Amino acid sequence: MKGIWWKGLGVLLMLYVIIVGFLMPLRPGITTAFPQNIKSGETSVITASTYNARLETLSASDLRAWLVRDTTYILQAQSVKISGDQSVDVTFDVPENLPVDEEVLDFSLVLDAPEMGSIVLPYSIFIAKKGSDLSSGMTAWTSDSLGKLNKHKGLAIPFRNLLFETLRNTYFHVSLWFSMFILFLISVIYSIKFLRKREPYFDNVASSLVEVGTLFGILGLATGALWAKNTWGTYWTTDVKLNMAAVSMMIYAAYLVLRSSIKDGDKKAIISSSYNIFAFFIIVPLIFVIPRLTDSLHPGNGGNPGFGGEDMDNTMRMVFYPAIIAFTLIGLWMSNLMIRYKKLRNRIDEI
Amino acid sequence: MKYKLLLVLAIISMSINTAFAHGDGPDFFRSIGKIYVVVGVMVITFIGITCFLIYIDRKIKKIENEISSHN
Amino acid sequence: MKVLSNIWYLILKDFNIELRQRYILASIFLYVISTVFIISKILQTVSPMLWNAIFWILFIFTAVSAMMKSFSQEISQRSLYYYYLTGPIEIIIAKFIYNFFSLLLMGLLIMAAFIVFINNPIENYGIFVLGVILGALGVSVIFTLVSSIASKGGNSATLMSVLSIPLVLPVVLFNLRITGAGIGILGMTTIANDILLLLSIITILVGVSLILFPQIWRT
């Protein structure tokens, strides 16, 4: 049993991540609302398409809907009708006047029902100005209230427009990067150990960890490209975080080139350990400092919400943290195979 | 050898990207809330780990051959 | 005192070698001038942002070709002699200082060539030259250690560029921002922060190379 439990733990955690990661449903959400532009002083019907809302289990009387701006200006819908499997017709009797002196104001559409909870499509409905009486606009837009909003029942991960189910990629793509960094960190520790003790085993460990870490990095790039294609529309953007990741891959590819260019075993180990340590101290600012200085599309830098924000909530953390551990353990297992191979190789070469 | 495998891996993952994106019509990946993107990501990860297994398998086979020819 | 005089002696030795091999200096000078001339012919008008980018690209590539010889010219017997005469720490400090000044001169040369042959978008010379000085500092620290690694790797010409160009990127990105502020395409608000971060990165790298170099030197 000794020496095998952590491999088993890695596999079990991976299974947990795959099963729970896929089975945990997405919270309901509104994908689109049509028409987007409506006029003041008219009765308009807005068709909202929902996702995962399970409308067939609801009755029309449970559903409530509002147009909301800044939680102060609220207009309750006159009637809400379920018009299809995934669509709702909401009728609004829009007042003559707007509460703010603007030509066009944007409002968020809010739907609410018990079990389903309240779902929002932010800044989606644009109302054009007709009358210019601000005070009557104020009274018309503040007379309704949201009342008591329902909470979604059951475990579910957040609904994000555009991302939809691909939010689950967080468990794989992001964990790959995290575990890559952990592998590199352990490899640096072993490189330092090697330079202190000059034990060839430590160099075997360090180089194997770098090889597996580089593989994880390449997988991270490939999965990221696929995800980006289906969210941003291109495989590659000129985004800082992407480029920094690519550069750190280049640095480790250079490490592998360096190792293969030196034939003498002892010299190879010393030189490549030194390079590994030096490169790590350059990669830390590359990945952690520079992306924070510039704006980017990628979550976690600039003006974008990171994992502390809306992108990650407690239900996702229940899968995300185990996923990091699972990928790290599997990476350690893979490097363990490599280390044992290299040990055998060294022993055979000695004979 | 190592670089050849990495290259093969890169080519395979790229072709998966393009095949999935244009295989069954342009909207295949976008159906059912883009769940196939997640499947694609898992397939890429799986292929990567499999490539590693093939790589280490070949290296161990080499050692086995050396040992058996030595005896 | 002994250490300082040793360092001074080693710097002088490098300088003498440089003077004796005058064709290297001349070739770097020609390399810079002809590249700048080609750039100015291909790109008729150069926007300040492009100017800044090309400046640093040319800086890196000239630095690669200049630093390549930094350790590879040390023939083994001579380096053994130094090793008995002085410690490795003194050797790397001397190399740092020598490479810093040669890169600084090179940067100023490129700057002058850009102003003469292309155009002069520099608004704040103080900030710009500070950017060049910090760039020479950061790049020389990284290139000194990498060239010592590459010289052990044998085939150093290609190895040097493969090893050093990705490594030098973070330092150059900070320099792009600092000189960008000197040109006027970026605001001055973040510059103090940038300089501080760059200096802390350079300090860490100097510390790491001082620890690592004795290990590399002994092989």
What pLDDT, in 10s, does the model give residues A239-273? 778 888 889 999 999 999 899 888 888 888 999 99
pLDDT of residue A307: 47
Q: What's the pLDDT tens digit per position in B11-23?
A: 766 666 565 555 4
Q: Exposed (0-12), middle (13-18) or buried (19+): which is B62, by Cβ within 10 Å?
A: middle
Average pLDDT over residues C143-148: 88
Subunits that touch chain B (at least 3 Cβ pairs < 8 angstroms)? Answer: A
All residues of chain A having their beta carbon less than 8 Å from the beta carbon of residue C208 are: 277-278, 281
All residues of chain A having their beta carbon less than 8 Å from the beta carbon of residue C216 are: 270-271, 274
Q: What's the pLDDT tens digit per position in A126-179?
A: 988 888 888 888 888 888 888 888 888 888 888 888 888 888 998 999 999 999
All residues of chain A having their beta carbon less than 8 Å from the beta carbon of residue B70 are: 351
pLDDT of residue A326: 96
Angle, in degrees to the nearest 10, between helices C125-152 and C88-117 = 130
Which residue, among A4, A3, A6, A350, has the nearest Cα to A200 in the 3D structure?
A350
Q: Which residue of A has its CA nearest to B56?
A: A338
Q: Which residue of A has its CA nearest to B5?
A: A215
pLDDT of residue B6: 62
Contacts with C169 (C-beta within 8 Å, 6 or more apart), sequence order: A247, A286
Q: How sure is the predictor about C153, in pLDDT bands with cuts at 50, 70 and 90?
A: confident
Written as one letter, the residue type at C159 is: L
Supply angle C-alpha C165, C166, C171, rounded to 5: 85
- Structural domain spans, chain B: 2-70
pLDDT of residue B53: 94
**Mean pLDDT: which of A159-168, C44-53, C128-137 is highest?**
C128-137
pLDDT of residue A306: 45
Give the C-alpha separation, A191 to A30, whole Å.
Answer: 52
Subunits that touch chain A (at least 3 Cβ pairs < 8 angstroms)? Answer: B, C
Q: Identify whether the C-beta of residue A210 lies closer than 8 Å to the C-beta of residue A255.
A: yes
Contacts with C184 (C-beta within 8 Å, 6 or more apart), sequence order: C48, C121, C123, C124
- The answer to whether the Cβ–Cβ distance between C166 and A250 falls below 8 Å is yes
Element (H, E) at A69: strand A64-69
- 8-state DSSP, A28: P
Residues of chain A with pLDDT below 50 are 301-309
Token pair belonging to B19: 């095949």
pLDDT of residue B17: 59
Give the C-alpha separation, C21 to C185, whole Å.
Answer: 40
Which residue, among C203, C206, C53, has the nearest Cα to C118 in the 3D structure?
C53
Element (H, E) at A201: helix A200-231
Give the C-alpha separation, B9 to A218, whole Å.
Answer: 9
Q: What's the pLDDT tens digit per position in A1-16?
A: 567 899 999 999 999 9
Q: Which residue of A has its CA nearest to C209?
A: A278
Average pLDDT, chain B: 77
Average pLDDT over residues C49-76: 81
- Structural domain spans, chain C: 2-218
Which residue, among C179, C165, C72, C95, has the nearest Cα to C133 in the 3D structure?
C179
Location of structure tokens 């990705």 = C166
Question: Which of A164, A226, A229 is opposite residue B44, by nearest beta carbon?
Answer: A226
Q: What's the pLDDT tens digit per position in B20-38?
A: 555 444 566 666 778 889 9
Q: What's the pLDDT tens digit per position in C162-190?
A: 888 889 988 888 898 889 888 888 777 77
pLDDT of residue B27: 65
Size of interface A-C (CB pairs under 8 A): 78
pLDDT of residue C14: 76
- The answer to whether the Cβ–Cβ distance between A218 and B9 falls below 8 Å is yes
Give the C-alpha separation, A207 to A212, whole Å.
Answer: 9
Nearest-CA distance from A79 to chain C in Å? Answer: 53
Grouping H, G, I as helix, E, B as strand and the rest as coil, residue A232 is: coil
Interface residue A287 vs chain C (CB under 8 A): no
Q: Identify whether A35 is preceded by a cis peptide bond (ω within 30 of 0).
A: yes
List the CATH code of the domain at A30-142: 2.60.40.10
Give the C-alpha separation, A194 to A203, whole Å.
Answer: 6
Nearest-CA distance from A323 to chain C in Å? Answer: 30
Question: Which of B41, B63, B67 is opposite residue A169, by nearest beta carbon?
Answer: B41
Question: In degrees rounded to 5, what are phi and psi of residue A308?
Answer: -80, -20
Largest CA distance in chain B: 60
- The answer to whether the Cβ–Cβ distance between A277 and C208 falls below 8 Å is yes
Give the C-alpha separation, A30 to A20, whole Å.
Answer: 24
Location of structure tokens 């870490």 = A213
Give the C-alpha separation, C68 to C65, whole Å.
Answer: 5
Q: Identify whether the C-beta of residue A13 lies closer than 8 Å to the C-beta of residue A322.
A: yes
pLDDT of residue A302: 43
Grouping H, G, I as helix, E, B as strand and the rest as coil, residue A120 is: strand
Interface residue A274 vs chain C (CB under 8 A): yes
Question: Which bin fits A298, alpha (ψ -120 to 50), beta or left (φ > 0)?
Answer: beta
Average pLDDT, chain C: 84
- 8-state DSSP, A25: P
pLDDT of residue C189: 77
Interface residue A195 vs chain C (CB under 8 A): yes
% of chain C residues with pLDDT over 90: 23
Token pair belonging to B67: 């040992």
pLDDT of residue A181: 93
Q: How sure is the predictor about C120, in pLDDT bands with cuts at 50, 70 and 90?
A: confident
Average pLDDT over residues C30-39: 90
Q: Identify whether the C-beta of residue A39 lies closer than 8 Å to the C-beta of residue A94.
A: yes
* Distance linking the first and last C-alpha atoms of chain C: 28
Element (H, E) at A136: helix A134-142
Interface residue A238 vs chain C (CB under 8 A): no
Question: Which of B37, B44, B70 is opposite residue A219, by nearest beta carbon?
Answer: B44
All residues of chain A having their beta carbon less than 8 Å from the beta carbon of residue C145 are: 274, 278
All CATH 2.60.40.10 domain ranges in chain A, comma separated? 30-142
- The answer to whether the Cβ–Cβ distance between B17 and A215 falls below 8 Å is no
pLDDT of residue A194: 94
CA trace torsion C25, C29, C32, C38 (10° rounding): -140
- The answer to whether the Cβ–Cβ distance between A226 and B37 falls below 8 Å is yes
pLDDT of residue C15: 78
Handedness of CA A276, A283, A322, A26 (dihedral sign): negative
Q: Identify whether the C-beta of residue A80 lies closer than 8 Å to the C-beta of residue A34.
A: no
Q: Identify whether the C-beta of residue A221 lies closer than 8 Å to the C-beta of residue A246.
A: yes
